[in-house]
Amino acid sequence: MAKFFPKGQIMGFVFSLILTVIAMLVYFTDMSFTTGMVILLVTAFIQAGLQFIVFMHAGETNDKWAIYSNIVYGIGLVVLTVLGSLLILLWDM
């Protein structure tokens, strides 16, 4: 049975649970909006990286640089879209 539960994936799962619990602190403890957002940004992006690398095996083939640039490009566009929308439509700059 043990061979079906590789250590790396179990560690990845435990780590993702820990990150979720840290994110939950934002709700269960009193903290400023800024501190909360910083915590959420850090935990969410580490979690995403964990999924891509540990569980989705993004780096295991020769295509890895194409895969990474594709993901980074996608995330870059999203950051631009989200921040751009907020700047123009919400923060009135």
Partner 1 sequence: MGKVNNNVPLEYSTEENNLKIFGFWTFLGAEIMLFGTLFASYFVLSGRTGDGPTAAEIFEIGPVLAETFILLTSSFTIGLAIHAMRLGSKKATLSFMGVTLLLGAAFISVEIYEFVHYVHVGAGITTSAFTSALLTTLGTHGLHVTFGLFWGIFIMIQIAKRGLNSVTAGKTFVFSLYWHFLDVVWIFIFSFIYLKGMM
Binding-site member from 2, 3, 65, 93 for partner 1 (CB under 8 A): 3
**17, containing H or E segment:** helix 7-28
Binding-site member from 33, 65, 92, 93 for partner 1 (CB under 8 A): 33
Both tokens assigned to 88: 């123009």
**Cα–Cα distance for residue pair 33/50, rounded to 1 Å:** 26
Burial class (CB in 10 A: 0-12, 13-18, 19+), 43: buried
Residues in binding contact with partner 1, number by CB under 8 A? 48
Residues interacting with partner 1, by CB under 8 A? 3-6, 9, 12-13, 16-17, 20, 23-24, 26-27, 33, 36-37, 40-41, 43-44, 47-48, 51-52, 54-58, 61, 63, 66-67, 70-71, 73-75, 77-78, 81-82, 84-86, 89-90
